[in-house]
């Protein structure tokens, strides 16, 4: 049982590391973590503390931690938000290291440790080495493995049932006579909300629809959040089994007995996740809005992505779930569904209200089902170990020096784009200094 104050302690760690109230922080990171739990940091928290308030930083941080702890459903959700945000820093770090290592290897000789710093600012530096990257990756894996378990493959496939980017699953499950294509309906909600808002500006008959669609959007976000937690737990379990043969791993990952074709699909998906770090569905061009080439829509390092691919992969229920999460996060929807939805719903306010009420109620039911019936936990992390890992992760210099990491990453991405355009590039600011070499054998970027 997790102590009641564990969530508050974790929230306090987060607001302290993000330096809330000092002005020395990346506002987008703060906003994003609070928005995950439906809190507008600026209007609901920060606005209550004017700049000239005595002891403002301490009071603001305490209020921010309380609000964050209150809004997060559990300590696991809080950690997931941190890992999701921190995962981008980890990806940036790896890209920066690969770029700098490649550059030194082709110019001054390979150096394994790099010290990144701003010229003239002594306290701003970040040392990057294989050991540091491994430490970061180890901590990230530890936090992702908070709760692992087995996934009910058959139930998820019945719920989603992807085919070329369109869901043919039903809610309630397997009810193909009266069942509702809930996943498709959820993915339509963002553009439906915009259309209803436009209609309501000219016709009061649609005003009730504006409120109803917002309620449906909130319920849909809760459903997607549950789906995302399940997908994260599945990926953590795959990572835990990274040294296990794929067929054995497939049998351990799913609560259903996989035989023949199903086992081959699971093994192929696991291999793809291990090599490409992407879990998701293949979408041909023309089936999903905005998809113009064969693509994988899913989660890469637990971030939603659209990645070009030449392989059409069959999916397990876990892969289908990841595709659903990514489409919602990226505001994608099945292209053919829009015309049908507009024809059915946007001609009659009563039809729209009935549909929205059904979407909201079904999302609530499906969220509960995802949380309690689809995932069978087989292991959890001890609370003291959890908090210790969070403290270590948040105290990594990549968080406090994230502005510097942003700057160097943008430079590296620019160089990569130039090289893809067949330009010759030279990172002239990268020099091997005698002092740095004597200290760590490093290159110094200033």
**Any idea where the domains of the chain sit in the sequence?**
5-145+382-445, 148-378
Q: Which two tokens stand for residue 206?
A: 């649609």
Report the SS3 class of residue 109: coil
> pLDDT 10s digit of each residue in the chain, 446 long?
344 477 888 888 888 878 888 765 556 778 888 887 888 898 899 999 988 888 999 999 999 999 999 988 777 778 777 877 777 777 788 888 887 777 666 655 566 777 777 665 555 677 888 888 888 877 777 776 666 788 998 899 899 999 888 899 999 998 888 889 999 999 999 999 999 999 999 999 999 999 999 999 989 988 998 898 888 888 878 887 888 999 899 888 998 777 777 889 999 999 999 888 899 999 999 899 989 999 999 998 778 899 888 888 888 999 999 999 999 999 999 988 888 889 889 999 999 999 999 999 999 999 999 988 998 877 766 666 667 777 788 778 777 777 788 888 888 888 878 877 878 776 655 554 444 444 434 444 44
Return d(Cα 159, Cα 136) in angstroms, integer: 36
> Which SS3 state, helix, strand or coil, does residue 61 take?
helix
H or E element that contains 80? helix 75-106
pTM above 0.85, yes or no: no
Q: Scan for tokens 């053919």, then name that residue.
A: 336
Q: How far apart are CA 272 and CA 264, in angstroms?
A: 12
Say how far apart CA 55 and CA 59 lie, in whole Å: 6
Long-range CB contact pairs, 65-69, < 8 A, 24+: 65/8, 65/11, 65/12, 65/14, 65/15, 66/8, 66/11, 67/34, 67/39, 68/11, 68/14, 68/15, 68/33, 68/34, 68/37, 68/39, 69/7, 69/8, 69/10, 69/11
Location of structure tokens 């729209």: 352
Residue 94, C-beta contacts closer than 8 angstroms, at least 6 positions apart: 133
- Which two tokens mark 199? 């209609």
| Helix orientation angle between 207-240 and 75-106, rounded to the nearest 10 degrees | 60
Q: Which of 364, 347, 346, 345 is nearest to 355 (CA)?
A: 345
Give per-residue burial for 219-229: e unless 16+ CB within 10 Å, then b.
bbbbbbbbbbb
d(CA 205, CA 28): 38
């Amino acid at each position: 049982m997790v102590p009641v104050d564990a969530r508050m302690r974790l929230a306090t760690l987060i607001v302290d590391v993000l330096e809330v109230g000092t002005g020395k922080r990346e506002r987008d990171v703060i906003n994003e973590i609070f928005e995950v739990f439906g809190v507008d940091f600026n209007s609901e928290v920060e606005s209550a503390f004017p700049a000239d308030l005595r002891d403002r930083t301490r009071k603001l941080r305490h209020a921010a931690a309380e609000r964050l702890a209150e809004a997060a459903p559990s300590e696991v959700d809080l950690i997931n938000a941190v890992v999701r945000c921190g995962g981008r820093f980890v990806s940036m770090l790896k890209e920066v290291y690969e770029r700098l290592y490649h550059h030194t290897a082709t110019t001054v000789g390979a150096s394994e440790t790099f010290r990144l710093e701003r010229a003239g600012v002594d306290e701003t530096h970040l040392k990057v080495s294989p050991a540091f990257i491994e430490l970061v990756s180890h901590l990230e894996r530890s936090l992702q493995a908070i709760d692992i378990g087995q996934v009910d493959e058959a139930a998820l496939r019945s719920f989603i049932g992807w085919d070329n980017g369109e869901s043919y699953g039903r809610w309630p499950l397997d009810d193909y006579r009266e069942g509702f294509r809930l996943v498709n309906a959820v993915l339509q909600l963002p553009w439906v909300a915009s259309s209803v808002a436009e209609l309501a500006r000219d016709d009061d008959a649609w005003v009730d629809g504006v409120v109803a669609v917002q309620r449906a959007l909130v319920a849909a976000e809760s459903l997607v959040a549950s789906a995302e937690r399940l997908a994260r737990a599945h990926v953590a379990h795959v990572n835990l089994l990274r040294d296990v043969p794929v067929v054995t791993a497939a049998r351990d990952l799913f609560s259903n007995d996989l035989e023949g074709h199903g086992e081959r699909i699971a093994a192929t998906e696991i291999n793809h996740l291990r090599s490409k770090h992407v879990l998701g569905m293949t979408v041909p061009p023309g089936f999903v809005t905005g998809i113009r080439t064969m693509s994988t829509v899913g989660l890469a390092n637990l971030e939603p992505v659209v990645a070009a691919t030449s392989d059409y992969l069959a999916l397990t229920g876990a892969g289908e779930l990841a595709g659903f999460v990514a489409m919602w996060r990226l505001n994608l929807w099945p292209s053919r569904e829009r015309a049908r939805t507009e024809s059915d719903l946007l001609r009659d306010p009563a039809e729209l209200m009935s549909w929205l009420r059904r979407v909201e109620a079904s999302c609530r039911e499906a969220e509960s089902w995802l949380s309690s019936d689809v995932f069978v936990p087989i292991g959890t992390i001890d609370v003291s170990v959890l908090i210790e890992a969070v403290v270590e992760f948040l105290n990594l210099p990549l968080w406090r020096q994230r502005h510097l990491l942003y700057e160097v990453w943008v430079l590296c991405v620019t160089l990569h784009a130039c090289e893809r355009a067949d330009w010759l590039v030279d990172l002239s600011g990268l020099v091997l200094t005698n002092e740095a070499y004597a200290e760590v054998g490093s290159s110094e970027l200033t």
